[in-house]
Amino acid sequence: MANRTIFTDSSDWGCDMHGRDLPRRNTVTRRGFMKGGALALVGTSIVPAFLTRSIYAEMDKVAAANKKLVVIFQRGACDGLNVVVPYQEKNYYAMRPSIAIKQNEVIDLNGFFGLHPQMAAFKPLYDQGHLAIIHAAGSPDPSRSHFDAQDYMESGTPGVKITQDGWLNRALQNAPDAKPTAFRAVALGTQVPRTLQGKIPAIAVANLADFSVAGKGPQTSPISNAFQAMYDESTDSMLHGTGQEMFEAVKMLKAADPAHYHPAAGVAYPNGAFGNSLKQVAQLMKANLGVEAAFSDIGGWDTHQNQGAATGQLGNRLKEFSESIAAFWKDMGDDAENITLVTMSEFGRTAKQNGTGGTDHGHANVMFVLGGQVKGGKIYGMWPGLNNDQLNEGRDLKVTTDFRNVLAEAAYASLGARNLEAIFPNAPVQPQTFLKFS
């Protein structure tokens, strides 16, 4: 097919188609606490040591703004062509004889694109106008290395290896009235991801039920007791000052009773790490702890072999992915109006299947943006086509939307970040380049 514009603006969109953890042992040392400005508390929870003011200081102001950004990284390079399927492209079926999604299996979106059949949970979100889709999105950097491509996307500086911080941390730095609160930036995992590294303190939590420091006695862990003792005996003003804030942060979280959290009526998160992470994001946000940015990731997208079509390896991952996000959205209830969620993956996969029923590392991919203020029910961007002469390097879907443009618009709308040059240096990103999905 010829190139087709699938977006012009929000009201007229063209053709209407489209390292630093403590050892895991029962002692805590002052050096371990201070090293790198981060503390491993219990299990796999990390809290930044350098909190310069009380977590309560700006809580009312943060709550008033009430806008939140959730970023999801699909690690391993998801096959965007089988996620949002261009089922009217004849070459799609010619290039994928055994893994293409049949036309009668696709969940139709607009007569040209359709969702993978295992993503039925996304269809109501799309129909209700909350879910926007950006196809043929990706990085201008041609790397097919998972490590490099993920690093470039998380830093927000494709092709530049020396960037020290992550794009989301820089976005928070440039948000209005940026004041540190203990839970302002949270990652669900064992360590603060590249995306959130930087000047703004960020917390990494793998299990909220284990996020505990304060208190002594038989009901607290040896690590909790050791840290409390170290804090009590310390004469270091910096340790003592920031330590008190940390204990207050933990008290706030404990008051939310993580071990006994119950999602909203009718909400059932999938049983898996990703579903559990989004359930915990919902809990943190509902606890009104001042969360502005949250990050989670989900792996398992590197489908070189036996990818499957309507069912199989990729389908199973997509079911967990979509149902977890849909559950989170429903769980947040009225608060979802103030949330923007954006998904990304380091690159797509080859347009043509390989000899083992899979796909290899490609280029452009698909991104989702979900939110109460999102102009969803549309597919944004420019579709480059799948004819052989339209492919990148003769093998991949071409990138027509820079991923930084999508992230910038999400940060601009949800966090109020305005200095886009500081967030994405040297990027061709300005409000006039936005797709206007928000």
pLDDT at site 178: 53
Whether 233 is in a domain gets the answer yes
Burial 235-263 (b: 16+ CB within 10 A, else e): eeeebeebbebbbbbbebbbebebeebeb
Phi, psi of 368 (to 5 degrees): -115, 140
Using pLDDT thresholds of 50, 70 and 90, give the confidence band for residue 56: very low
Please, are residues 153 and 427 in contact by the beta-carbon 8 Å criterion?
A: no
Choice between 319 and 232, residue whose per-residue pLDDT is larger = 319
Mean pLDDT of 195-206: 91
Domains identified in the chain, total number: 1
Residue type, 37: G
- CA-CA distances (angstroms) from residue 403 to 262, 296, 332? 35, 18, 27
Average pLDDT, the chain: 82
pLDDT of residue 437: 98
Q: CA-CA distance, 423 to 193, in Å (whole number)?
A: 17
User: What is the arithmetic mean of pLDDT over 26-46?
Assistant: 36
3-state DSSP assignment of residue 345 = strand
48: pLDDT strictly greater than 60? no
Predicted pLDDT of residue 114: 98
Rounded Cα distance between 215 and 224, Å, is: 7
Residue with the larger pLDDT of the pair 167 and 240: 167
> Of the ranges 127-136, 228-237, 405-414, which one carries the lowest mean pLDDT score?
228-237
User: Which of 153-162, 170-179, 184-193, 280-289 shows the highest mean pLDDT?
Assistant: 153-162
**Tens-digit pLDDT profile for residues 390-438:** 999 999 999 999 999 999 999 999 999 999 999 999 999 999 999 999 9
Q: Is the pLDDT of residue 302 over 90?
A: yes
Determine which of 3-12, 200-209, 370-379 has the lowest per-residue pLDDT on average. Answer: 3-12
Tell whether the model's pLDDT for residue 18 goes beyond 80: no
Closest CA to 250 of 285, 203, 296, 200: 203
Is 11 in a helix, a strand, or coil? coil
d(CA 62, CA 218): 37
Residue 438 located in a structural domain: no
> Residue 367 pairs with which residues in a beta bridge?
134
Q: Within 13 Å, how many C-alpha atoms sit on residue 164's CB side?
A: 3
Residue 44 lies inside a defined structural domain of this protein: yes
The mean per-residue pLDDT over the stretch 43-49 comes to 45
Q: What is the pLDDT of residue 4?
A: 53
User: Crossing angle for the helix pair 313-332 and 273-286, nearest 10 degrees?
Assistant: 10
Let me know if residue 346 belongs to a domain.
yes
CA atoms within 13 A on the CB side of 31: 1
Between vectors from CA 213 to CA 212 and to CA 216, what angle results, nearest 5°? 110
Distances in Å between the Cα of 99 and the Cα atoms of 102, 105, 119, 264 are 9, 12, 16, 37
**Which pLDDT band, with edges at 50, 70 and 90, does 207 fall under?**
confident
Phi, psi (rounded to 5 degrees) for 146: -55, -50
In a domain, 193, yes or no: yes
What are the tens digits of pLDDT across the range 330-368? 999 999 999 999 999 999 999 999 999 999 999 999 999
Single pTM value for the model: 0.82
Is residue 23's pLDDT more than 80? no
pLDDT band, residue 69 (cuts 50/70/90): very high
Number of residues that make up the chain: 438
Q: What is the mean pLDDT of residues 183-192?
A: 91
DSSP 126-155: HHTT-EEEEEEEE-SS----HHHHHHHHHH
Q: Is there a contact between 83 and 318 (Cβ–Cβ < 8 Å)?
A: yes
Examine residue 270 and state whether it is found in any structural domain, yes or no.
Answer: yes
- Structural domain including 314 reads 4-433
Q: What is the per-residue pLDDT for 249?
A: 61
Residue 252, pLDDT above cutoff 80 = no
Report the candidate in 191, 148, 195 with the shortest Cα–Cα distance to residue 167: 195
Strands 365-371 and 293-298: unpaired
Cα 156 to Cα 262: distance, rounded to the nearest angstrom: 36
pLDDT confidence of residue 144: 97
Distances (CA, A) of 383 to 25, 280, 391: 53, 36, 11
